[in-house]
Structure 1
Amino acid sequence: MAGDRLPRKVMDAKKLASLLRGGPGGPLVIDSRSFVEYNSWHVLSSVNICCSKLVKRRLQQGKVTIAELIQPAARSQVEATEPQDVVVYDQSTRDASVLAADSFLSILLSKLDGCFDSVAILTGGFATFSSCFPGLCEGKPAALLPMSLSQPCLPVPSVGLTRILPHLYLGSQKDVLNKDLMTQNGISYVLNASNSCPKPDFICESRFMRVPINDNYCEKLLPWLDKSIEFIDKAKLSSCQVIVHCLAGISRSATIAIAYIMKTMGMSSDDAYRFVKDRRPSISPNFNFLGQLLEYERSLKLLAALQSDAGTPSGTPEPPP
């Protein structure tokens, strides 16, 4: 295994193109840009490790491994015993020596050095490569990505429902279909964050909302967040309790709960994540959804700034329970 290496190995666009055209057995190519940039266009067969603050912090603290960050299709390459070459790129970096030590790319490169024998940075990043070899870049064909990280409506272990706020619960499909449990906790509104998990027959249509998404690397949850928050507030204004659920109450529904805390309590995505995690330790939103929470945080900040300029009160965050 390699440790810190100076100077950093580099690879130009022409060399990477040649390796990609050579077929199987080429390098593992890692895209370190945001999910939005990666999902729009990326190097053929590359995998994404999103440059978010949360991912950076987890890497620094050793709370997540490189293997865990890479999509399942490439994880075997991380765990292989034979030498494996890696090429990393961002949007446009030409000289790794000018990177700040605490930058996301520097931290990622350091962690990769501990896993692979050869780690190089692509000179000029994706900007240079895509302009020279557009035919070796691809968009986001859903068929090449895992269709779902958790298959809908299959039995999974349940930790039971969790109260996040006095009116807001987070749970699993199993919890929601348990009429006695729902009645015991006074829950009469259901927000179902899945494509096919069934609506409980004891919940009326006016108190049910479905967000039709799968738990994968390309689903767009962001457009549903404000509608989901409105639905949760509808239950609150009716002095009722609402549960947000998906299959296991781990990724999709947890993301919605975090977004709700962000908007109603004025928290950052990191603080809201910790708020929900403290109450339900099993949550683990996939990195696609975490990236969208960062986008949502930016939109909330912009909205607050616009309201401030217009002299419009943005509302008073409610205190934690």
Structure 2
Amino acid sequence: MSSQKRKRTEYLTVKDLQKLLDSCKLHLSQIDEVWPNIYIGNVAVAQNKAALLKLGITHVLNAAHSKRGSIGNQSFYGSDAVYCGIPADDSTHFDLDVYFQPAADFIHKALKSTDGKVLVHCIMGMSRSSTLVVAYLMIYHHLPLKQALQKLIQKRAIYPNRNFLALLLDLDLQLTRKKKTCQIL
């Protein structure tokens, strides 16, 4: 492999990631299982308790928890599901990365629970929720960013905004550095 080609795969750009996302031929649906027992969905399905019960959802991670976004709380789900709300804006300046680890931990804990199935949602199930699931796959399954995105677009039409893609690129770099440091030690 030429050094130029190697550099290209090592240093992805937001534009590269957008091209990858553009290659997805799926149509957006209300809910999709994107990884075993991990579902990404929209706010309508998140507020349909009958549908969630039918799917066996035990945990709900709302990536749009706010008065303007999607209002949800533990009392709405009662004993049917464990709720976690993240007050994220789908904007070019929101620092979603501060929630990468807590969201990944919530998803991981959900999947470790008996018959655990988690719904990660925002308003449309395209940007905030998919970003958090990608971060989970990177943190807990050690997938490189590009591979995590490829896995998801095989199951759901997703499109994290440019800011979130840049934050995921930073996470990818941090995790790669951490892995290299561990290998040296």
Q: Give the TM-score band, short-chain normalised.
A: 0.7 to 0.9
Map of 2:55 onto structure 1: 185
**Taking structure 1 as the reference length, what is the TM-score of the superposition?**
0.47
The structural deviation recorded for 1:245 is: 0.4
Map of 1:161 onto structure 2: 31
| 1:261 counterpart = 2:130 | no
The structural deviation recorded for 1:250 is: 0.6
**Conserved in 2, the CA contact under 8 Å of 1:193 and 1:210?**
yes
The structural deviation recorded for 1:222 is: 0.8
- Aligned partner (choices 96, 100, 110) of residue 221 of structure 1: 96
Number of residue equivalences = 165
- Aligned partner (choices 195, 212, 221) of residue 87 of structure 2: 212
Q: Secondary structure at the match of 1:260?
A: helix
Counterparts of 1:165-176 in structure 2 under 5 Å? 165-176=35-46
CA separation of 1:57 and 1:204: change in aligned 2, threshold 3 A: closer
Q: How far apart are the structure 2 equivalents of 1:242 and 1:203? A: 15
The structural deviation recorded for 1:204 is: 5.0
Counterparts of 1:12-31 in structure 2 under 5 Å? none
Q: Secondary structure at the match of 1:243?
A: strand
Q: How far apart are the structure 2 equivalents of 1:56 and 1:295? A: 14
Counterparts of 1:1-321 in structure 2 under 5 Å? 53-56=13-16, 159-196=29-66, 197-199=70-72, 201-204=76-79, 207-239=82-114, 240-281=116-157, 283-310=158-185
Q: How far apart are the structure 2 equivalents of 1:248 and 1:227? A: 22
Q: How far apart are the structure 2 equivalents of 1:289 and 1:58? A: 11
**Conserved in 1, the CA contact under 8 Å of 2:58 and 2:81?**
no
Q: Secondary structure at the match of 2:154?
A: helix
**Taking structure 2 as the reference length, what is the TM-score of the superposition?**
0.79
CA separation of 1:181 and 1:57: change in aligned 2, threshold 3 A: closer
Letter in 1 for 2:181: L
**Conserved in 2, the CA contact under 8 Å of 1:188 and 1:207?**
yes
Q: Comparing both chains, which one has the higher relative contact order based on Cα–Cα distances under 8 Å and sequence gaps of 6 or more?
A: 2
Q: Secondary structure at the match of 1:279?
A: coil
Deviations 1:57-85 (A, max 9, x none): 756x9x59xxxxxxxxxxxxxxxxxxxxx
The answer to which structure has the higher helix fraction is 2
Letter in 1 for 2:117: Q
- Report which of the two structures shows the higher radius of gyration computed on alpha carbons: 1
Q: How far apart are the structure 2 equivalents of 1:175 and 1:267? A: 28
The structural deviation recorded for 1:164 is: 1.4
Q: How far apart are the structure 2 equivalents of 1:205 and 1:186? A: 9
**Conserved in 2, the CA contact under 8 Å of 1:52 and 1:291?**
no
Gaps of 5+ in 2: 1-10
The structural deviation recorded for 1:273 is: 0.9
Q: How far apart are the structure 1 equivalents of 2:18 and 2:113? A: 39
Deviations 1:87-121 (A, max 9, x none): xxxxxxxxxxxxxxxxxxxxxxxxxxxxxxxxxxx
The structural deviation recorded for 1:267 is: 1.8
